């Protein structure tokens, strides 16, 4: 599933279509495709893992789910297109994704302050939300999009390793200094993720995700499904402290 930084890349790749009119539409999506035919795109936005195509009065919300993808000005052979948007200066093709309409002002649908990559990100609001869920495991809290929109499993694993925090720690038991560092790291690492993704070298910088040995301790890293979401965690039981 694409994480927040990858959606930023989609927004940047499609920027040339802002202000352009959709002159043809196709695909196997069941939404009313004629609705945006001959309509101009007002803006592209992102919120967490959502790619937003904004028209006058409504928005198309695209969620790439687990295996979604896109192409610009080309088509993938032997792949069914979920939604094809044609413009005079090119085309957007979306695959294996969810596409839904959001009515009215897009700002009424999203809290931009919960998106870790948004200019309006509010760390204090994130801290307050964490205080409301003291018994939730931190691995689940990090993946809660209402708190950390854009954080996915890779970012979760890398952040927890960097701050030396065990994913099965109870949120309310984590020391304040450690929790503050965790919150700050969500934004810092997300932008590093974006830079490395642009340079096509993301995996080279992974310290914990998919790794077999701790770089600090030279001990085996444990691979385990953690939390309510049962997502993969990569843990050094020696240096990632468990707070329960």
Is 112 buried (19+), middle (13-18) or exposed (0-12) by CB count in 10 A? middle
pTM of the model: 0.93
Mapped onto helix, strand or coil, the DSSP state of residue 218 is coil
Query: Residues 101, 159: one domain?
Result: no
Among 108, 129, 147, the domain boundary falls at: 108
Query: Residues 177, 223: one domain?
Result: yes
Asked whether residue 244 is domain-assigned, the answer is no
Query: Residues 89, 134: one domain?
Result: no
Query: Residues 10, 96: one domain?
Result: yes
Query: Residues 154, 191: one domain?
Result: yes
Q: What is the pLDDT of residues 207-233, one digit of tens each?
A: 999 999 999 999 999 999 999 989 999
DSSP structure string for 156-185: HHHHHHHTTB-TT-BGGGS-HHHHHHHHHH
**For 198, what's the count of Cα atoms within 13 Å in the CB-facing half-sphere?**
13
Give 131's pLDDT tier (boundaries 50, 70, 90): very high
Q: What is the pLDDT of residues 13-61, one digit of tens each?
A: 999 999 999 999 999 999 999 999 999 999 999 999 999 999 999 999 9
DSSP structure string for 30-93: -S-GGGGTTPBP-EEEEETTEEEEEETTEEEEEE-TTT-EEEESS--TT---SEEEEETTEEEE
CATH code, domain carrying 59? 3.20.190.10
Q: Which domain range does residue 62 map to?
A: 4-108
Asked whether residue 41 is domain-assigned, the answer is yes
The domain tally of the chain equals 2
Asked whether residue 242 is domain-assigned, the answer is no
Query: Residues 12, 90: one domain?
Result: yes
Give the pLDDT score at 66.
86
Asked whether residue 174 is domain-assigned, the answer is yes
C-alpha span between 162 and 79 (Å, rounded): 38
Query: Residues 120, 228: one domain?
Result: yes
Given a cut of 90, is residue 2 above it in pLDDT?
no
Given a cut of 80, is residue 106 above it in pLDDT?
yes
Q: What is the pLDDT of residues 169-184, one digit of tens each?
A: 999 999 999 999 999 9
Query: Residues 170, 187: one domain?
Result: yes
Q: What is the pLDDT of residues 58-105, one digit of tens each?
A: 999 999 998 999 999 999 988 999 999 999 999 999 999 999 999 999
């Amino acid at each position: 599933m694409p994480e927040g930084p990858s959606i930023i890349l989609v927004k940047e790749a499609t920027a040339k279509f802002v202000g352009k009119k959709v002159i043809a539409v196709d695909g196997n999506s069941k939404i009313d495709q004629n609705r945006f035919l001959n309509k101009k795109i007002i803006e592209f936005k992102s919120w967490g893992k959502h790619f937003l195509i904004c028209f006058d009065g409504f928005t198309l919300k695209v969620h790439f789910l687990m295996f979604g993808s896109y192409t610009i000005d080309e088509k993938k052979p032997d792949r069914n297109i979920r939604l094809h948007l044609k413009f005079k200066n090119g085309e957007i093709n979306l695959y294996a994704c969810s596409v839904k309409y959001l009515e009215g002002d897009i700002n009424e649908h999203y809290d931009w302050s919960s998106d870790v990559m948004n200019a309006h990100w509010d760390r204090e609001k994130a801290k307050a939300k964490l205080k409301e869920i003291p018994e939730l495991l931190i691995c689940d809290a990090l993946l809660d999009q209402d708190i950390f929109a854009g954080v996915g499993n890779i970012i979760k694993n890398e952040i927890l390793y960097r701050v030396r925090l065990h994913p099965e720690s109870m949120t309310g038991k984590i020391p304040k200094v450690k929790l503050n560092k965790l919150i700050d790291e969500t934004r810092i690492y997300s932008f590093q993720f974006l830079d490395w993704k642009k340079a096509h070298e993301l995996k080279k910088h992974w310290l914990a995700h998919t790794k077999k040995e701790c770089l600090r301790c030279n001990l085996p890293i444990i691979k385990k499904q953690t939390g309510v979401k049962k997502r993969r965690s990569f843990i050094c039981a020696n240096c990632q402290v468990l707070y329960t």
